[in-house]
Chain A
Amino acid sequence: MNSNRTQGLAPAQEVSSESRHVGRSVLRLEDPILLRGEGTFAADVNFARQLHMRVVRSAVAHARIRQIDTTAARAAGGVVAVWTGRDVAEIPLIPTRATKVQGLEPYCQPILAQDRVRYVGEPVAVVFATDAYLAEDAAEQVQVTVDELPPVLDARADPSAFDEVRNTEPTIIRKGYGDIEGAFAAAHAVVELELSIGRHSGVPMECRGAVARYDAARDVLEMHGAAKKSHWNRDVMAQMLGRSRSDFHLFEGHVGGGFGVRGELYPEDVLVCLAALRLRRPVKWIEDRRENLMATNHSRQQHHRIQAAISGAGELLGIRDVFFLDQGGYVRTHGARVADMSAGLLLGPYRVPAYQATCHYRLTNKTPCGTYRSPGRFETTFVRERLMDAIAERLGLDKLEVRRRNLVAAHEMPYSRPLDALGVDVVLDSGDYAGLLDKTLARLDWNGLQARLAERRKQGELVGVGLAMFVEKSGLGPSDLVRLTVEPSGTIELVTGAASVGQGMETVLAQICADELGIDYRRVRVVRGRTDRIEFGNGAHASRVTVMSGSATQIAARNVRALALEFAARALKRSPEALTMIDGRVVTRNEAEGASLTLAEIAKLVEPNASCAPDTPFEHRQGLSADGWFYSDHMNYPYGVHVAQVCIDPDTGVVRVERYLASYDVGRAVNPMLVEGQIVGGVAQGIGGALFEQFAYDLAGQPQSTTFADYLMVTASEMPDVDVLVTEDAPSPLNPLGMKGAGEGGTNAAGAAVAAAVDDALGSPGFVTALPILPRDVYRHLASRQRG
Chain B
Amino acid sequence: MKDLTLDVNGELHRIRVEPRRTLVDALREDCGQTGTHIGCEHGVCGSCTVLVDNEPVRSCLMFAVQAEGCKIRTVEGLASAGELHPIQQAFTEEHALQCGFCTPGFLMLAIGILEKNPAISDDDLLEDLSSNLCRCTGYKNIIAAVKRVRDTMAGASAR
Contacts and interface: CB of A to CB of B under 8 A. Distances in A.
A773 interface: no
Interface string A318-345: 0000000000000000000000000000
A36 B35 contact: yes
Contact of B93 (A7, A30, A681, A721): A7
Given A35-B84, A716-B139, A719-B140, A28 B44 contact: no
Contacts of B33: 37
A722 B142 CA distance: 13
B140 A1 contact: yes
Contacts of B104: 37
Contacts of B88: 35-36
B41 interface: yes
Interface centre among B76, B107, B133, B142 (most CB of A within 10 A): B133
Given A257-B135, A708-B133, A28 B101 contact: no
A255 B138 contact: no
Contacts of B132: 715
Contact of A680 (B28, B84, B137): B137
A717 B135 contact: no
A34 B138 contact: no
B118 interface: no
A254 B95 contact: no
B37 A206 contact: yes
Given A41-B101, A133-B20, A289 B84 contact: no
A27 interface: yes
A219 interface: no
Contact of A717 (B103, B107, B126, B141): B126
Contacts of B141: 677, 680
B10 to A, nearest CB: 16
Interface of B is mostly: loop
B38 interface: yes
B135 A203 contact: yes
Contacts of B133: 205, 708, 713, 715
B40 interface: yes
B138 A722 contact: yes
Contacts of A145: none
B130 A35 contact: no
B130 A715 contact: yes
B44 A502 contact: no
Contact of B97 (A35, A258, A685, A709): A35
Contact of A32 (B84, B101, B102): B84
Given A37-B34, A719-B140, A259 B135 contact: yes
A708 B138 contact: no
A43 interface: yes
Nearest to A674: B95
Interface in B102-142: 102-104, 107, 126-127, 129-142
B78 interface: yes
A115 interface: no
B135 A685 contact: yes
Interface residues of A, number: 61
A680 B98 contact: no
Contacts of A677: 95, 98, 136-137, 141
B59 interface: no
A696 to B, nearest CB: 17
Interface string A70-114: 000000000000000000000000000000000000000000000
B79 interface: yes
Nearest to A501: B99
Contact of A681 (B101, B137, B143): B137
A438 B17 CA distance: 64
Interface string A19-38: 00000010110111111111
Contacts of B62: none
B98 A719 contact: no
A254 B99 contact: yes
B74 interface: yes
A505 B159 CA distance: 41
Q: How big is chain B's contact interface, by range?
A: 35 or more
A684 interface: yes
Given A28-B92, A289-B39, A717-B126, A35 B140 contact: no
Contacts of B45: 205, 289, 708
Contact of B37 (A30, A31, A255, A256): A256
A488 interface: no
Interface string A499-534: 001111000000000000000000000000000000
Given A34-B100, A677-B98, A717 B127 contact: yes
Interface in A680-738: 680-685, 707-709, 713-719, 721-722
Interface string A427-460: 0000000000000000000000000000000000
A206 B91 contact: no
B75 interface: yes
A91 to B, nearest CB: 30
Contact of B41 (A27, A288, A721): A288
B38 A35 contact: no
Interface in A409-437: none
A444 to B, nearest CB: 18
A766 interface: no
A716 B130 contact: yes
Contact of A257 (B92, B99, B139): B99
B18 interface: yes
Interface in A235-270: 254-259
A611 to B, nearest CB: 38
A579 interface: no
A623 B84 CA distance: 37
Interface string B39-62: 111101101000000000000000
B100 A254 contact: yes
B39 A684 contact: no
Interface centre among B92, B102, B138 (most CB of A within 10 A): B138
B138 to A, nearest CB: 4
A35 B68 CA distance: 27
B99 A719 contact: no
A38 B18 contact: no
A418 to B, nearest CB: 37
Nearest to A504: B98
Interface centre among A34, A206, A257, A288 (most CB of B within 10 A): A34
B95 A204 contact: no
A633 interface: no
B137 A37 contact: no
Interface centre among A31, A43, A682 (most CB of B within 10 A): A31
Given A36-B76, A205-B135, 10 more contacts: A35-B88, A205-B101, A205-B133, A206-B37, A289-B40, A680-B141, A684-B135, A707-B42, A708-B44, A717-B130
Interface of A: 1, 7-8, 25, 27-28, 30-39, 41, 43-44, 133, 202-207, 254-259, 288-289, 501-504, 673-674, 676-677, 680-685, 707-709, 713-719, 721-722, 746
14 contacts: A28-B92, A32-B92, A35-B79, A205-B39, A205-B134, A257-B99, A676-B95, A677-B141, A714-B138, A714-B139, A715-B130, A717-B126, A717-B130, A721-B140
List the 5 shortest-distance A-B pairs measured between CB atoms, nearest first. Answer: A37-B35, A502-B99, A34-B100, A256-B101, A37-B75
